[in-house]
Amino acid sequence: MNATTRLALLAALTWPAVSAQAAQDPPVTIDTHVDIPFNYMVEPRFDVGHDTRLLVDLGKMERGGLNAAFFVVWVPQHALDAAGYAKAVQQASRKYDGIGRMLMMYPDRIRLATTPEQLLANRKAGLLSATIEIENAYSLGHDIRRLDAAFDRGARSVGLVHVGNNDLCSSSMPDTEHGEPAMNSAGDQGMSEFGRAVVKRANELGMLVDISHASDKCVRDALAVSATPLIASHSGARAVLDHPRNLPDGLLRALAAKGGVVQAVAYKEFLKHDPGRAAAEKKLQAAVAKQAGEKAYDSDNDDYRPEMEAGMAEIQKKYPLATLDDYVKQIRHMVQVAGIDHVGLASDFDGGGGITGWKDASETRNVTAALRKAGFSEPDIAKLWGGNLLRVWGEVERHAQH
């Protein structure tokens, strides 16, 4: 299916009976970065078929009009040795299993989408969609064959790196405390040969290559190596807020020039500089962990405790989160620099995302309303919410088929 036909399908979709509010929704809404805990769909508190403390569960998606999410198989960075690789592979497997369990238990509400066509068909049928994204390809265990295995399990996007350098490329936030070179320093090596092999194999398979979290040099290397457009699944604009995770204007333009898309992320630290809040959150995390008898704070165990929720509410009073206005400001800048065809939207929910006005998936329509208020047209909002991402995904698929 070519790009024109795909966009025509988007425009021609006829929906099931919906509320007046839902009738004002864009054709499709896709959030390209939703994290999940390691015990996803194992512990009852993480059973997303019910109301949960998670920022994304099926009910919140349905109520908020969020049609599709890229559910993230993330692993933390460990040592680049056999033990570290083995642990990362095992941790990733738990997350694949959790997503699979969700799909098996709730097929009448959410289905896997491994192609743009499947995602659109799910939307037309009134079903939610789950697409799987790898975050930190360290979980491949330095074995290129595991990329094929991930593809077979449904993964359609591969994020090269996370916090700390891995065996593929350098990170935008290297572990400088333990000797890793700073980003853009003389020691920043960018992409390794293994990283280049992963990008090339992803191109052959038809997987999106995601450069969020990558160093500037790694992004430039990926642009040179990849035969297909790239995505940044959850990034911001460094010119608006100077954070290493945000992309400079030059790279926004370079990604657009190759046909890619940058998914503007509603993550507090990339939208608003607030060291007071960061310090207060760190203090609260330590206190909650101590109360629970843990040696250190563990987001999976601690983020969803009632005492954490109460503490965060107090912090919010003193140090308010970034707002939808802050988010739209970044989106507007990214559109001005990269062009309306090269920007999308992402939350980073359950991975630290959530701002005033879009605190969880149930408030997704607030983003659409904020974009309208800011003067974005309905066709442009449709591009931001999914049209651009689907176009890139389609181009990546077509390359694999040749």
The alpha-carbon radius of gyration of the chain (Å, integer) is 20
The predicted pLDDT at position 2 comes to: 57
Percent of the chain with pLDDT over 70: 95
Mean pLDDT over residues 321-349, rounded?
98
The predicted pLDDT at position 298 comes to: 87
The predicted pLDDT at position 14 comes to: 45
The predicted pLDDT at position 6 comes to: 55
Q: pLDDT tens-digit profile of 103-162?
A: 999 999 999 999 999 999 999 999 999 999 999 999 999 999 999 999 999 999 999 999
**Is-contact 331 373, C-beta < 8 A?**
no
- Ranges 7-21, 39-53, 82-96, 275-289: which has the least confidence: 7-21
**Structure tokens, 374:** 């800011």
pLDDT interval class at 5 (50, 70, 90): low
308-312: long-range contacts (C-beta < 8 A, 24 or more apart)? 308/284, 309/53, 311/284, 311/287, 312/281, 312/284
Residues 203, 71, 183, CA angle at the centre, nearest 5°? Answer: 65
Q: Token match 């959850």: residue? A: 234
Taking the C-alpha atoms of residue 284 and residue 312, their distance in angstroms, rounded to an integer, is 8
3-11+18-272+322-401 fold? TIM Barrel (3.20.20)
Q: pLDDT tens-digit profile of 14-39?
A: 444 456 677 689 999 999 999 999 99
Mean pLDDT over residues 242-266, rounded?
98
**Structure tokens, 364:** 């997704």
DSSP 181-233: PPTTSTT---B-HHHHHHHHHHHHHTPEEE-TTB-HHHHHHHHHH-SS--EEE
pLDDT interval class at 336 (50, 70, 90): very high
The predicted pLDDT at position 1 comes to: 56
Residue 344, helix vs strand vs coil: strand
The predicted pLDDT at position 401 comes to: 79
Mean pLDDT over residues 288-308, rounded?
87
Dihedral angle computed from the Cα positions of residues 394, 160, 298 and 264, in that order, rounded to the nearest 10 degrees: -50
Q: pLDDT tens-digit profile of 42-73?
A: 999 999 999 999 999 999 999 999 999 999 99
pLDDT interval class at 374 (50, 70, 90): very high
Mean pLDDT over residues 242-262, rounded?
98
Dihedral angle computed from the Cα positions of residues 58, 361, 162 and 37, in that order, rounded to the nearest 10 degrees: -40
The predicted pLDDT at position 15 comes to: 43
**Is-contact 96 115, C-beta < 8 A?**
no
Helix (H) or strand (E) holding 82: helix 82-105
Residue-wise burial string across 105-115, b where 16 or more C-beta atoms lie within 10 A, e elsewhere = ebeebbbbbbb
Domains of the chain by residue range: 3-11+18-272+322-401, 274-320
Per the prediction, the chain carries an average pLDDT of 94
The predicted pLDDT at position 356 comes to: 97
Instruction: Write down the pTM of the prediction.
Output: 0.93
Mean pLDDT over residues 176-190, rounded?
96
**Is-contact 344 390, C-beta < 8 A?**
no
Asked if pLDDT for residue 301 goes beyond 90, the answer is no
The predicted pLDDT at position 292 comes to: 86
